[in-house]
């Protein structure tokens, strides 16, 4: 499909225009450039996006020293070497280095080095294949796309409307990752991955954290045992975990004083700062989407090539958080590679392969989506949970393994190891549909499951994938034995 150059009066025409220069936009641009296309990327804030400056990277930089010290403390012989607390100043120093002190010069140069035209400002779709950028100098730069416009603007923290929340000046993920002062008391509202990770980090850095969750357990989107084990560990680390609790109002009577949160059981929690981590909203409210017949403020509905549905000519794509397929950086980058290559392939007149697991279909979003929560113990899951697979009406088999009971590599990894794994099998095909690992040091184990699920490796072959002894990955042998012996 060779699109004609649209008739525009604009200054600049590119093959592809990308809105948003986070990791997703960067990867779209890189793949489109690799396909020989000209690319403009529009960024209103920092090149590198939320992930680089206020999410994945700073949060993991803050968590890793906390977990490393906890890991040493869990072993007789190592414990004795650890005598002091984590040094928050050192942690912030490392974090600042990893986020380049919130300076995007390096990442912007990276785009330029790719031959991308970087346009600073707020980009809005301005009719078919057109983008208008409001620059920091209040000029309007008009761009036109020969082939595609790709929305990669991501998501922002959802902040619920609630009495007193403005006065409380709550933290979002941004404040929680760019602050360098440890509050004596931190209340965290929301116990999804962000809430749990930040509760872990700040408790480790010295705050007395209260974690407030509406649900009956933390991490409700995972297998139940994940929330049970992580919730218990948070409590053991000193976090005050309040479950089945909803915040109904906040007040901060003195600007320099504490915040009081009122819960639905009429109890109160006092804290020096409050992090709200109750979800994400799409950053589509001010993108000019109404100019092409879409409703602003909604997640963008896309097909498996991440093409926005309902657009004449199919020139609009959306990749990353903004399409709501998977709110995870790595998955956005995966979509971005597919989008960039699909646009380049079509521009070159090639047919797309959009069959399942084909080159131009983001099939893994649906069937092999991996996620890690960098809590302590860690949670690492891919594919379908037992509950989800059952809801889909599939014939499944589910096996669980306790790592401390059955995996020598786990017992050697930590005294009093805590961990559990679950495997969900498609009874009809003998393919693994999903795996969840919870435990100390299981993060890097996840990719074995991701390869098994995405690779559709049958169980008969997985018996030949021998886990090295004595590693934690021997949990795979225990899972296979559980499947075998339950038959």
| Cβ nearer to a copy of itself, comparing 235 with 484 | 484
Nearest approach, Cβ of 414 to a copy of itself (angstroms)?
A: 8
DSSP string over 362-406: -THHHH--EEEE--SSEEEEEE--HHHHHHTT--EEEEEEEHHHH
Within 8 A by CB and 6+ apart from 89, the residues are none
- Quote the CA–CA distance of 94 and 359 in Å, as a whole number: 38
Beta strands in 215-314 (DSSP E): 240-242, 247-251, 259-263, 268-271, 273-276, 280-282
Q: Which run of H or E residues covers position 88?
A: helix 88-98
Nearest approach, Cβ of 424 to a copy of itself (angstroms)?
A: 17
| Cβ nearer to a copy of itself, comparing 116 with 289 | 116
DSSP string over 133-190: EE-TTS-EEEEEEEEEEEE---EEE-----TTTTTTT-B-HHHHHH--S--SEEEEE-
Nearest approach, Cβ of 12 to a copy of itself (angstroms)?
A: 28
Nearest approach, Cβ of 160 to a copy of itself (angstroms)?
A: 28
- Quote the CA–CA distance of 98 and 472 in Å, as a whole number: 29
Nearest approach, Cβ of 67 to a copy of itself (angstroms)?
A: 9
CB 232 within 8 A of CB 144: no
What six digits make up the tokens of 138?
A: 């209040």
| Cβ nearer to a copy of itself, comparing 117 with 447 | 447
- Quote the CA–CA distance of 244 and 264 in Å, as a whole number: 9
Nearest approach, Cβ of 8 to a copy of itself (angstroms)?
A: 34
Nearest approach, Cβ of 104 to a copy of itself (angstroms)?
A: 15
- Quote the CA–CA distance of 287 and 314 in Å, as a whole number: 18
State the first-to-last Cα distance of the chain, in angstroms, to the nearest integer. 52
| Cβ nearer to a copy of itself, comparing 164 with 320 | 320
- Quote the CA–CA distance of 84 and 92 in Å, as a whole number: 17
| Cβ nearer to a copy of itself, comparing 187 with 205 | 205
| Cβ nearer to a copy of itself, comparing 12 with 75 | 75
| Cβ nearer to a copy of itself, comparing 82 with 263 | 82
| Cβ nearer to a copy of itself, comparing 203 with 260 | 203
Nearest approach, Cβ of 225 to a copy of itself (angstroms)?
A: 19
| Cβ nearer to a copy of itself, comparing 268 with 444 | 444
**Between β-strands 378-383 and 117-120, what pairing exists: parallel, antiparallel or unpaired?**
unpaired
| Cβ nearer to a copy of itself, comparing 50 with 126 | 50
Neighbours of 114 (CB within 10 A): 16
Nearest approach, Cβ of 250 to a copy of itself (angstroms)?
A: 31
Nearest approach, Cβ of 277 to a copy of itself (angstroms)?
A: 19
- Quote the CA–CA distance of 95 and 59 in Å, as a whole number: 8
- Quote the CA–CA distance of 122 and 287 in Å, as a whole number: 8
| Cβ nearer to a copy of itself, comparing 316 with 338 | 338
Nearest approach, Cβ of 79 to a copy of itself (angstroms)?
A: 7
177, burial (CB in 10 Å: exposed 0-12, middle 13-18, buried 19+): buried
Within 8 A by CB and 6+ apart from 485, the residues are none
């Amino acid at each position: 499909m060779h699109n004609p150059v649209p008739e525009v009066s604009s200054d600049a025409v590119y093959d592809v225009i990308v809105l948003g220069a986070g990791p997703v936009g960067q990867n779209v641009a890189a793949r489109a450039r690799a396909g020989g296309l000209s690319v403009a990327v529009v960024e209103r804030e920092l090149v590198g996006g939320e992930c680089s400056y206020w999410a994945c990277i700073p949060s993991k930089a803050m968590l890793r020293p906390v977990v490393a010290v906890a890991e040493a403390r869990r072993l007789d012989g190592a414990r004795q070497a650890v005598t002091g607390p984590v040094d928050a100043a050192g942690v912030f120093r490392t974090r600042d280095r990893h986020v380049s002190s919130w300076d995007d010069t390096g990442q912007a140069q990276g785009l330029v080095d790719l031959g991308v035209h970087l346009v600073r400002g707020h980009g809005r779709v301005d009719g078919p294949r057109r983008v208008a950028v409001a620059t920091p100098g209040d000029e309007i730069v008009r761009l036109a796309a020969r082939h595609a416009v790709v929305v990669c603007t991501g998501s922002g923290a959802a902040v619920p409307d609630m009495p007193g929340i403005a006065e409380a000046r709550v933290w979002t993920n941004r404040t929680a990752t760019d602050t360098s002062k440890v509050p004596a008391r931190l209340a965290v509202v929301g116990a999804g991955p962000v809430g749990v990770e930040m509760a872990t980090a700040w408790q480790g850095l010295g705050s007395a954290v209260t974690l407030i969750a509406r649900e009956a357990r933390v991490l409700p989107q995972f297998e139940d045992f994940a929330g049970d084990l992580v919730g218990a560990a948070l409590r053991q680390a000193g976090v005050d975990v309040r479950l089945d609790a909803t915040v109904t109002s906040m007040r901060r009577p003195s600007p320099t004083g504490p915040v009081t949160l009122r819960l639905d059981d009429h109890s109160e929690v006092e804290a020096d700062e409050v992090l709200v981590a109750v979800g994400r909203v799409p950053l589509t409210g001010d993108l000019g989407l109404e100019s092409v017949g879409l409703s602003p403020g909604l997640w963008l509905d896309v097909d498996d090539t991440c093409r926005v549905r309902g657009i004449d000519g199919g020139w609009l794509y959306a990749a990353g958080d903004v399409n709501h397929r998977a709110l995870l950086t790595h998955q956005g980058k995966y979509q971005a590679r597919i989008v960039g290559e699909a646009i380049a392939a079509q521009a070159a007149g090639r047919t797309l392969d959009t069959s399942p697991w084909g080159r131009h279909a983001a099939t893994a979003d649906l069937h092999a989506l991996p996620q890690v929560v960098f809590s302590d113990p860690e949670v690492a899951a891919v594919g379908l949970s037992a509950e989800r697979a059952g809801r889909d009406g599939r014939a499944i088999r589910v096996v669980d393994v306790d790592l401390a009971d059955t995996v020598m590599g786990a017992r050697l990894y930590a005294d009093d190891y805590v961990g559990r794994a679950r495997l969900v099998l498609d009874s009809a095909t003998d393919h693994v549909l999903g795996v969840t690992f919870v435990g100390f040091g299981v993060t890097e184990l996840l990719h074995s499951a991701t390869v098994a699920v995405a690779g559709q490796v049958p169980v008969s072959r997985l018996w030949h994938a021998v886990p090295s002894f004595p590693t934690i990955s021997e949990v795979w042998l225990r899972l296979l034995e559980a499947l075998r012996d339950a038959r």
